[in-house]
Amino acid sequence: MPRVDAQMLLLHSLGRPLHDRAWLLTHDSDSLTPAQQDTWQAALHRRLSGEPVAYITGYKDFFGLTLSVDARVLDPRPDTETLVEWALAVLPLAPAPQAFRVLDLGTGSGAVALALQHARPDAQVWAVDASEDALAVARGNAKSLNLSVQFILSDWLAAVPGMFGLIVSNPPYVADGDPHLAALSHEPLQALTSGADGLADIRLIIAQAPGHLIPGGWLLLEHGWDQAKAVQALLSQAGFTEVQSRQDLAGVDRCTGGRLQP
């Protein structure tokens, strides 16, 4: 969407909210100052080099929240809102205390964890990342949004205490050497790639999750457009029941999950 990107970068250069594209229509005859013109042109050059709009502006809207983002974390995608919607659907309205405990693995900017905490302030939401840099971004977002997510530095579940009613994750799932990586060169590689088939981290999470889920707890995973069948098989082999997938905005199976047998 080059036109939308250009409009957002123009709004950023003017110091306007990024969603205020209607303002541009009502001020289409206004002239830019030389400083504004220079700022906009510099932003456009960065975008033409492949840098995400979110890194240039420093912000990204996700599930109704405005997050600060930079090159330390992935640019949150709209498709990941599918994971949030599914998580909210499986959270019981009046759960037992442990079922209130929700864990987001590989939180990055904190997008998923913060969206869940905002939607369900009664839940205890924990967020994990193996990167101190990513956790610094996520903690900053939690502070600015006044959301009480708790953060843990851990390689997936290795250092995570306690049991949870729901574990969600948008882990790395791109295969090493995938040609699409060339278009993602500005984003942290360790948050994108996961072995020869892109499933190494998903396998590890599925292996570790049963030890941290209460009986009947859910594990929900985002994955690549062609990985649903493989993830379904991995969950079933690990003893999960009610294994199923959910589609993203483009109608692609984007998330797969299952329930630990009660």
Cα 177 to the center of its chain, rounded Å: 22
pLDDT value for 182? 66
Which H or E run contains 125?
strand 124-129
Ranges of each domain in the chain: 2-49, 70-260
CA-based nearest residue to 95, from 158, 164, 3: 164
Domain 70-260, CATH homologous superfamily name and number: Vaccinia Virus protein VP39 (3.40.50.150)
Output the CA torsion 35→40→44→47 (10° steps).
110
Report the alpha-carbon distance of residue 260 to residue 95 in Å, rounded: 16
pLDDT value for 39? 83
Instruction: Quote the tokens at residue 26.
Output: 């009502």
Strand 253-260 relative to strand 213-222, pairing:
antiparallel
CB 76, CB 134: distance < 8 Å: no
pLDDT value for 192? 73
pLDDT value for 30? 76
Identity at 162, one-letter amino acid code: G
Local confidence pLDDT in tens for the 262 residues of the chain: 678 888 888 888 888 887 777 777 777 777 788 888 878 788 888 888 888 888 999 999 999 999 999 999 999 999 999 999 999 999 987 656 666 899 999 999 999 999 999 999 999 999 999 999 999 999 999 999 999 999 999 999 999 999 999 999 999 877 777 676 666 767 777 777 777 788 999 999 999 999 999 999 999 999 999 999 999 999 999 999 999 999 998 999 999 999 998 7
pLDDT value for 6? 82
